[in-house]
Amino acid sequence: MSTVNLQKKNVAPIGTDYHGQGGADASPVNVVQLPTHGSASAEPLAKRETKLSVKDIVIGYHNKESGQILLTVDRVSLDIKEGEIVTIVGLSGCGKSTFLYAIAGLVPSQGGEILVGGKKVTGPGPDRAMVFQKASLLPWRRVRQNITYGLELNGVGAEEAEKKARHYIDLIRLSGFEDHYPNQLSGGMQQRVNLARALACDPEVLLMDEPFAALDAITRELMQLELLTLCEKVGKTVLMVTHQIDEAVLLSDRVIVFSARPAQILADIKITIPRPRDGITKDSPEFRELETRIWTLIEANANIGGGI
């Protein structure tokens, strides 16, 4: 088990357990680039401003029973450009969600810094919105009211909130369901409302923690295509965590491969498959090559780290 000299804090672990194997001997970052075939935007990524910057972030938890500090994220640095979609993949329990929650301001870090739009993150803020694994809609609120909930918390007036709700109801193709309650919606429809609620707040960075994990396989595939279309329309900066390699390749401009815990970056892989993409994209040789490359990195690290 890896430990670090951190100030002990009684912080409840979020998105992490105490049972994974350490990965202190993780390989240096390997930046993998395939030949460029296209761009997700008219403006090249290299010319866009950096929207999210993570510098040497360290996250650890104090285990009250053992008295030890469990290091979960070890000096990770990552820059994401405006409008870029980046996905993190890695072994279960390696620290992916913990890293995401730290960016959301829900988990404290013990070293490094996180900047959104050049401003340091010290806690939750309206410049970030989180989409969790479960829709977590308020059961006593209708679809429209669930979408306006975050706006109400941010002090947006009723008329403006209603206008934004109508816009996103149309965008997620739920017109006619705006007055339904969550229990009257399918799982995929609930997650679309969850996504619309986050986007309605107009965050600078959209954070997504395995947003389709709770859905069945068919609905998950359809939601991936929905998200592709939605991201092209709204142009948000997105950082997502997933266990599905094909999902990561399909949706992303870059895929970040995390090592076994404590998380370090094994590879930063550019996805140069042209957009727009669709379900047929997964059948291309380039897509399969990327899947294999990412899986090989994860599998090799699992063997080093002692399993999954």
CATH of the domain at 275: 3.40.50.300
Number of domains in the chain: 2
- Claim to verify: residue 238 and residue 297 sit in the same structural domain: yes
CA atoms within 13 A on the CB side of 105: 16
- Claim to verify: residue 216 and residue 171 sit in the same structural domain: no
- Claim to verify: residue 295 and residue 217 sit in the same structural domain: yes
- Claim to verify: residue 191 and residue 74 sit in the same structural domain: no
- Claim to verify: residue 66 and residue 145 sit in the same structural domain: no
pTM attached to this predicted model: 0.82
CA distance 254 to 269: 5
What is the pLDDT at residue 306?
44
What is the pLDDT at residue 161?
93
- Claim to verify: residue 217 and residue 274 sit in the same structural domain: yes
- Claim to verify: residue 25 and residue 121 sit in the same structural domain: yes
DSSP state of 89: E
CA distance 259 to 302: 8
Residue ending a domain, among 168, 185, 202, is 202
Q: Does 278 map to a domain?
A: yes
Kind and range of the H or E element at 237?
A: strand 237-241
Q: Does 133 map to a domain?
A: no
- Claim to verify: residue 123 and residue 54 sit in the same structural domain: yes
- Claim to verify: residue 42 and residue 23 sit in the same structural domain: yes
Q: Is the dihedral of CA 18, 24, 27, 30 positive or negative?
A: positive
**Beta bridge partner(s), residue 267:** 30, 257
- Claim to verify: residue 159 and residue 146 sit in the same structural domain: yes
307 class by beta-carbon count within 10 Å (0-12 exposed, 13-18 middle, 19+ buried): exposed
| Per-block mean pLDDT, blocks of 10 residues, the chain (308 long) | 37 33 38 36 75 96 82 95 95 94 94 95 93 91 95 92 92 91 93 92 94 86 86 88 95 96 95 91 95 94 59
| Residue 252 structural domain | 1-127+203-308
Residue ending a domain, among 202, 227, 251, is 202
Closest CA to 193 of 224, 147, 228: 147
CA distance 299 to 46: 31
- Claim to verify: residue 52 and residue 179 sit in the same structural domain: no
40, amino acid identity: A
Residue ending a domain, among 149, 182, 202, is 202
Distances (CA, A) of 70 to 74, 78, 113, 304, 308: 11, 22, 19, 19, 18
What is the pLDDT at residue 304?
59
- Claim to verify: residue 31 and residue 71 sit in the same structural domain: yes
Q: Does 58 map to a domain?
A: yes
Closest CA to 250 of 214, 218, 215, 226: 226
